[in-house]
Amino acid sequence: MTATLDKRSMRASGLHRSIPSHFFLFFTLVCALVLGNIAQAQVQVALQGSGTSNKFPIIIADFAGQNGKEIANIISADLIRSGQFEVTRTEALTIDSNGTPNWAAISALGATTVAYGSVSGPNINYQLADSAQRAPLDAKNIIEPQMRRQAHKIADAIYEKMTGVRGIFATRVAYATANQLVVADADGENRKVVASSSSSIISPAWSPDGSKLAYVSFETGKPVVYVQTLASGARQAVANFKGNNSAPAWSPNGSQLAVALSRDALSNIYLINASGGTSAQKITNSPEIDTEPFFFPNGSGIVFTSDRGGSAQIYRSGLGGGGASRITFNGAQNVSGKISPDGAKLVYSSLRGGSYSIALQGLGTGSDQTLTSGPNDLSPSFAPNGMQILYVSSGGLSIVNTDGSFQASIPSVGNVSSAAWGPFTD
């Protein structure tokens, strides 16, 4: 069975006005799913794009010192999960008294680039070398007390040196289950429940500096938008207007939230202060459902989901309350649009051929590509470097490269309803 968003049936059943707009969109997309608990222990490698011809070959050696083997394993898993590296693991390299590796032994492993190093408490030293040239490529000493984060930062350094793009392995993700909000490392590990409720929690959204999460909770009997400070656990209701309050999205400077409110019996997009208050500036004005806003990186406007044209599609609008223009045309329904960090692409969940898949559209070129095959791929968000997309796949977490060349699942716990990839924080 495929869930649909049909305006006539919404009106006939009374759902068009009585159910929270964002929750209704979410519910109609996933009501047909049978969601199982996800408790995976390891990264599951590529569902597609497993060829190695276009990948960087690299050797990762065990690091010297405590947890050195585990650190090397985490680095390897990070690079593999990027879909851009062919990794060979080896034990600790033979290093002479001058710190020079055994180049002949390295070359015998079949790759010219090798990463190795040592760890001593919070200090981790890493070296990246080219065995063909017998020359160093990169070296860093990082001070970081947490072991997994040590490894992620080294993986970030390797990734940036090899690709020229900043790595995202030390970033975090947030996801909502039935009644919990969870924050984890980008590989799904090091999970922490940061909010729990007796009712549903949905729609996590990271503040631009990564210090706060906005989300929606139904604990008072209706959807209310909260902002929670992660370091302290303190939270505040920032949108608790008459009617439904849902679908928060942060402005690029972190001072405002765009939210969907039904305060006037219609679901429209408003701007509110991120610290709360009673004022709300109306952005859209439609007799139909407007929801799921997301800001352009330069703060010039938003994209949002609306059924004003007869089916759920994605529109763009400025912040001054003017007209909106439709930007998705392929697919029976298109929802949950997010803009890439460079402002050039739109990712969204698209209903095509009876399945919800993740699709990518070039905003300047009009190009359109389906990245996943469904059947229920929802809630996409870009990695902060724009190279991968996190999404919910039938109740679990998955990632896909923006060129569609690589997919993998990452560990999660519970039936995931929505997810968001966090920003760079240091």
Kindly report the CA angle at 118 between 112 and 119, in degrees rounded to 5? 145
C-alpha span between 242 and 270 (Å, rounded):
13
Verify that 117 and 232 share a domain, yes or no.
no
Is residue 157 domain-shared with residue 270, that is, in the same domain? no
Cβ 203 vs Cβ 176: under 8 Å: yes
- Asked if residue 273 belongs to a domain, the reply is yes
Cα angle value 143/83/81 (rounded, 5°):
50
| Chain position carrying tokens 């350094």 | 157
Residues 150 and 227 in one domain: no
Residue 243: CATH number of its domain: 2.120.10.30
Q: Which domain holds residue 107?
A: 56-163
**Percent of the chain surpassing pLDDT 70:** 87
> Coil, strand or helix: which one is 160?
helix
User: Is residue 43 a part of any domain in this protein?
Assistant: no
Buried b (16+ CB within 10 A) or exposed e, 122-140: eebbbbbbebeeeeeeeeb
Residues 327 and 417 in one domain: yes
Same domain, 27 and 141: no
More confident residue, 133 or 87: 87
Is a pLDDT exceeding 80 seen at residue 24?
A: no
What mean pLDDT is predicted for residues 135-145?
Answer: 94
Identify the pLDDT of residue 215.
Answer: 98
Domain boundary among 100, 135, 163: 163
Answer yes or no: is 390 within a domain: yes
pLDDT band at 105 (very low <50, low <70, confident <90, very high): confident
In a domain, 373, yes or no: yes
- Claim to verify: residue 114 and residue 69 sit in the same structural domain: yes
pLDDT digits (tens, 9 = 90+) for 382-397: 999 999 999 999 999 9
pLDDT of 43 strictly over 60: no
- Lowest mean pLDDT, pick from 31-40, 144-153, 269-278, 360-369: 31-40
Nearest-5° angle of CA 286, CA 289, CA 293?
Answer: 95
Minimal CA–CA distance to 337: which of 370, 319, 313, 321?
Answer: 313
Q: Is residue 46 part of a domain?
A: no
Contact 258, 301 (CB under 8 A): no
Q: Are residues 143 and 183 in the same domain?
A: no
Boundary-marking domain end, from 114, 145, 163: 163
Task: Say if 115 falls within a structural domain.
Answer: yes
Percent of the chain that is helix, strand, coil (3-state, to 5): 15, 40, 45
Helix intervals (H) in 122-244 = 147-163
Residue 269 domain-assigned (yes or no)? yes
Question: Based on the domain organization, do 398 and 264 belong to the same domain?
Answer: yes
User: Which pLDDT score is estimated for 264?
Assistant: 86
Q: What is the model's pTM?
A: 0.88
Task: Check residues 34 and 277 and name the one with the higher pLDDT.
Answer: 277
In whole numbers, what is the pLDDT of the chain averaged over residues?
A: 87
How far CA 181 is from CA of 196, 230, 375, 409, 416, in Å, comes to 6, 11, 25, 19, 10
Asked if residue 364 is part of any domain, the answer here is yes
Q: What is the pLDDT of residues 174-220, one digit of tens each?
A: 999 999 999 999 999 999 999 999 999 999 999 999 999 999 999 99
Note if the bond before 208 is cis, omega within 30 degrees. Answer: no
User: Do residues 147 and 175 share a domain?
Assistant: no
What φ, ψ does residue 30 adopt, rounded to 5°?
-120, 5
pLDDT at 47: 37
Q: How many domains does the chain have?
A: 2
Rounded average pLDDT over 32-38: 28
Structure tokens at 187: 């590989």
Q: Using one digit for the tens of pLDDT, what is the confidence trace for 288-328? A: 999 999 999 999 999 999 999 999 999 999 998 788 999 99
Which CATH number do you get for residue 87?
3.40.50.10070
Are 84 and 160 contacting, i.e. CB atoms less than 8 angstroms apart?
A: no
Q: Cβ distance 184 to 172 under 8 Å?
A: yes
The whole-number pLDDT of residue 298 equals 96
| pLDDT score recorded for residue 110 | 80
Tokens matching residue 335: 């929802």
> Is residue 20 scored above 80 in pLDDT?
no
| Calpha distance 403→208 (Å, rounded) | 25
What single letter denotes the amino acid at residue 227? V
How much is the CA Rg of the chain, to the nearest whole Å?
23
Q: What is the C-alpha to C-alpha distance for residues 325 and 312, in angstroms, rounded to an integer? A: 13
Question: What's the CA gap between 230 and 228, in Å, rounded?
Answer: 6
> Of 411, 380, 22, whose CA–CA distance to 201 is shortest?
22
User: 313 and 211 in one domain?
Assistant: yes
> Going edge to edge, which strands form the sheet with 235-239?
201-206, 212-217, 224-229, 235-239
Summarised one tens digit per residue, pLDDT across range 247-264 is: 999 999 999 999 999 998
Same domain for 122 and 240, yes or no, is no
